């Protein structure tokens, strides 16, 4: 940090001494001019010379292929190990499949899957138990939607992976979390790994796992567990570290052994934080399962991707709503469970009173199985609902027909709307997107490298600078410069738009209770949805292209910009604002001279999150067409060029980490200055 506070410290090397004599803007200018001049005399400054390119991608691909075919560990073939793991993991997946939609015929039992009535009733009853009538109503209606809109079986396919992955991810996450709080070595190794894992887009997990375990549910399961586990570990660490010292000491003075202290004191008293972790695990699992469709997981995500690629938007909307409803139900149920109060007077009630929810469910379960014996529709919901038979047959509801009508409506709408939409899209593309894109493609890498390094040094000191330099060097020397710049351009424009939309909304919400009551719940809900969903409106309105991609990123990545602005403004001490008012500031002066400057570090952290989410989204938008790093990730899964996919995923993470370190260092320093750290 001393470097950051003493920027004029002369450096040892010759260039540094002359640079140090300049003011900060002068040093930036010198780097830019030098870089541009260099690019004029040397082509290698624009495109890293092919001859010098490190074939890292090829090495990784070769290594994975070697692992798959020849490698042995202690005399056991590596592929036998992965096959063993695969078989072991297939078992719980199989049983979940039997239970949810296949039925138990395969294992010699004449028993169907859980009838949909039983599942829907079970979810509703559970919702009532944890959250009362309102939650029960929400969950009940959502389940009815799944049953009537011809998505039940696919929803159950999706849930198969969820129900297997969640306990695994939670268990591993808690175990790792405990380990990190116990061992300094573990903390040193695992914490930075989590940082990297969190910055890596979902999609990048799929390629290497698919490479080793082949396509199918097991690959989806493994990728999902790996992806969904870090939040659980983080929450465990947070929970264990924030147990109040009085509570821990009370445990010690009660004579707890170390083990008792962990299991009876620390873990249970951080239950709320752990449940928050579980909620995140569930949500991340769902998001990942939906995306895992491209690596062979069947289910709603798979169907949605298929519908989108065929431009069958009506069905896509029906499926998208189904995914969103599942997300909302899972989110609300886990949250309600976390905050559930214990019944004080349980001991005064009879056994039946205490277990009425369970009993009701058992009755419905048995009843629905009996019903399913006689009527197929009671087992799996029919694709359309009809009343009567023969000539008197009346179609009550047909989801497919509705989808076709929606398709037609969307087409009609587009015919009219394109007259208005297309000019806007074309204008923005021509005058904003293409120039910015061309700028980034023209940008000589030494300029980018130098400017970011200097900024990193100025903001975070030497260690941040070295980290950023290493990350930048990694995509320059491996020949990913062009793809990385395309991603940078897309993300910067999307982030700028998110800030333009999000910050004013956040200010509005902070100023008006009524606005906050509308905006904040919408933010919560937007964050609940798997990112995949946001492709639907983008395709509907703009088909494909960078404009559509940016449009898909915005609803997803604007949320943190709104939320951090809102929280940053809300957290300003009342006395600071009152002092401004007492000094005679107008509303506008109060905002621009008091509130925004104090809240700025928090708002910048929001920008940081926005960039991270936009980066993650670029790997999703690649599904509908792009040419950046995200596309490399997606393509690698089908081309089996795993090295390129893994590296591209890593570089998306690298961009995220660079942004995080730059903005994070600035915000931390600024908060320290403002005394609000």
Partner 1 sequence: MPGDVQIRCRNLWKVFGADPRGFMRRHDGRPTAQALRDEGYIGAVQDVSFDVHQGEILIIMGLSGSGKSTLIRCITRLNDPTTGEMEYEGRDLLKLSERELIDIRRHRFGMVFQNFGLLPHRDVLENVAFPLEVQGIARAERVDRAKKMIDLVGLGGRESYFPRELSGGQQQRVGIARSLAVEPDIWFLDEPFSALDPLIRAEMQDEFLRLQSMLHKTIVFITHDFEEATKLADRIGIMKDGRMVQLATPEELVLNPADDYVAEFAKNAPRERIVSVGAIMQTPTDAALGAVPMTAKIGSVAEQVLTADGPVAVTDASGERIVGSIDRATVTAAIFGGRGPEARAA
Residues that bind partner 1 (CB under 8 A): 244, 246-257, 260, 264-265, 268-269, 271, 342, 344-345, 347
> Residue 250 CB, nearest distance to partner 1 (Å)?
3
- DSSP per-residue letters across 38-54: HHHH-GGGTS--GGG--
Q: Residue 273 or 285: which CB sits closer to partner 1?
A: 273
Please, are residues 273 and 242 in contact by the beta-carbon 8 Å criterion? Answer: yes
How far, in Å, are 93, 303, 328, 479, 521 from residue 309 at the CA level?
Answer: 28, 10, 25, 30, 31
Q: Residue 264 or 404: which CB sits closer to partner 1?
A: 264
Please name the helix (run of DSSP H) or strand (run of DSSP E) that holds residue 398, with its range, or none. Answer: strand 394-398
Q: Residue 346 or 416: which CB sits closer to partner 1?
A: 346
- Residues 590, 157: Cα–Cα separation, whole Å: 54
> Residue 261 CB, nearest distance to partner 1 (Å)?
9
Alpha helices (runs of H) in 72-201, residue ranges in sequence order: 78-97, 116-148, 152-182, 184-199
> Residue 121 CB, nearest distance to partner 1 (Å)?
30
DSSP code of residue 380? S
Q: Residue 171 or 263: which CB sits closer to partner 1?
A: 263
Q: Residue 258 or 514: which CB sits closer to partner 1?
A: 258
> Residue 268 CB, nearest distance to partner 1 (Å)?
4
Residues whose CB falls within 8 Å of the CB of residue 317, separated by 6 or more in sequence, listed in order: 403, 406, 536
- Residues 112, 105: Cα–Cα separation, whole Å: 7
Q: Whose CA is closest to 180, among 219, 127, 133, 233?
A: 233
How far, in Å, are 84, 273, 310, 512, 530 from residue 527 at the CA level?
Answer: 37, 19, 27, 22, 8
**Cα-based torsion angle of the residue sequence 40, 44, 46, 49 in order, rounded to the nearest 10 degrees:** 160
> Residue 335 CB, nearest distance to partner 1 (Å)?
18
Q: Residue 255 or 388: which CB sits closer to partner 1?
A: 255
Please name the helix (run of DSSP H) or strand (run of DSSP E) that holds residue 559, with its range, or none. Answer: helix 546-570
> Residue 281 CB, nearest distance to partner 1 (Å)?
20
> Residue 129 CB, nearest distance to partner 1 (Å)?
19
Chain mean position to CA 613: 7
Q: Residue 110 or 341: which CB sits closer to partner 1?
A: 341
> Residue 256 CB, nearest distance to partner 1 (Å)?
5
Q: Residue 43 or 249: which CB sits closer to partner 1?
A: 249
CB atoms inside a 10 Å sphere around CB 106: 10
Phi, psi angle pair for 173, to nearest 5°:
-60, -45
CB atoms inside a 10 Å sphere around CB 337: 16
> Residue 243 CB, nearest distance to partner 1 (Å)?
9
Q: Residue 182 or 411: which CB sits closer to partner 1?
A: 182
């Amino acid at each position: 940090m001393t470097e950051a506070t003493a920027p004029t410290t002369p450096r040892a090397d010759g260039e540094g001494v002359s640079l140090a004599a300049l003011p900060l803007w002068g040093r930036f200018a010198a780097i830019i001019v030098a870089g541009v001049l260099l690019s004029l005399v040397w082509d290698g400054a624009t495109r890293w010379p092919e001859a010098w390119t490190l074939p890292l991608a090829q090495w990784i691909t070769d290594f994975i292929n070697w692992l798959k075919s020849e490698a042995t560990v202690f005399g056991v073939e590596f592929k036998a190990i992965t096959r063993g793991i695969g078989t072991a993991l297939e078992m719980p997946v199989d049983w979940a499949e039997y239970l949810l939609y296949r039925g138990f015929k395969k294992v010699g039992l004449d028993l169907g899957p859980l009838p949909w009535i039983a599942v829907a009733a079970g979810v509703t009853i559970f919702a009532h138990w944890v959250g009362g009538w309102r939650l029960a109503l929400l969950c009940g209606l959502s389940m009815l939607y799944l049953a009537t809109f011809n998505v039940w079986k696919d929803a159950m396919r999706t849930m198969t992976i969820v129900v297997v992955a969640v306990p695994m991810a939670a268990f591993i996450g808690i175990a790792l979390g405990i380990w990190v709080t116990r061992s300094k070595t573990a903390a040193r190794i695992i914490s930075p790994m989590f940082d990297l894992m969190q910055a890596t887009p979902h999609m990048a997990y799929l390629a290497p796992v698919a490479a080793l375990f082949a396509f199918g549910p097991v690959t989806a399961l493994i990728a999902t567990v790996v992806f969904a586990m870090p939040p659980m570990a983080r929450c465990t660490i947070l929970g264990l570290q924030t147990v109040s010292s009085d509570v821990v000491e009370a445990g010690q003075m009660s004579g707890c052994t170390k083990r008792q202290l962990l299991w009876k004191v620390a873990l249970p008293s951080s239950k709320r934080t752990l449940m928050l972790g579980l909620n995140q695990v569930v949500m991340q699992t769902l998001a990942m399962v939906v995306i895992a469709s491209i690596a062979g997981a069947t289910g709603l995500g798979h169907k949605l991707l298929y519908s989108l690629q065929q431009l069958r938007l009506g069905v896509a909307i029906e499926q998208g709503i189904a995914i969103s409803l599942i997300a909302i139900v899972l989110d609300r149920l886990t949250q309600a469970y976390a905050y559930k109060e214990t019944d004080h007077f349980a001991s005064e009630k009879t056994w039946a009173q205490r277990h009425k929810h369970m009993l009701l469910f058992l009755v419905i379960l048995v009843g629905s199985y009996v019903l399913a014996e006689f009527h197929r529709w009671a087992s799996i919901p029919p694709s359309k609902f009809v009343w009567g038979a023969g000539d008197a047959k009346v179609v009550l509801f047909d989801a497919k027909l509705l989808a076709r009508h929606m398709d037609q409506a969307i087409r009609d709408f587009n015919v009219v709307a394109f007259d208005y939409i297309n000019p806007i899209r074309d204008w923005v593309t021509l005058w904003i997107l293409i120039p910015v894109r061309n700028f980034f493609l023209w940008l000589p890498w030494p300029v980018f490298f130098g400017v970011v390094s200097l900024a990193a040094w100025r903001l975070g000191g030497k260690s941040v600078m070295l980290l950023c330099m290493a990350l930048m060097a990694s995509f320059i020397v491996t020949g990913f410069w062009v793809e990385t710049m395309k991603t940078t351009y897309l993300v910067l424009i999307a982030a700028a738009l998110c800030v333009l939309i999000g910050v004013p909304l956040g200010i509005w919400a902070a100023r008006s209770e009524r606005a906050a009551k509308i905006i904040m719940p919408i933010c919560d809900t937007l964050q609940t949805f798997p990112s995949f969903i946001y492709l639907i409106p983008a395709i509907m309105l703009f088909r494909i292209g960078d404009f559509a991609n940016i449009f898909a990123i915005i609803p997803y990545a604007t949320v943190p910009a709104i939320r951090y602005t809102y929280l940053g403004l809300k957290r300003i001490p009342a006395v600071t604002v009152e002092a401004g008012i007492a000094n005679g500031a107008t509303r506008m002066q109060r905002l621009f001279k008091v509130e925004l400057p104090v809240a700025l570090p928090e708002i910048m952290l929001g920008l940081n999150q926005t960039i991270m989410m936009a980066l993650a989204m670029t790997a999703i938008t690649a599904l509908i067409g792009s040419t950046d790093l995200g596309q490399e990730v997606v393509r690698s899964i089908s081309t089996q060029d795993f090295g390129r996919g893994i590296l591209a995923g890593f570089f998306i993470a690298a961009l995220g980490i660079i942004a995080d370190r730059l903005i994070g260092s600035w915000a931390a320093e600024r908060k320290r200055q403002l005394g609000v750290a």
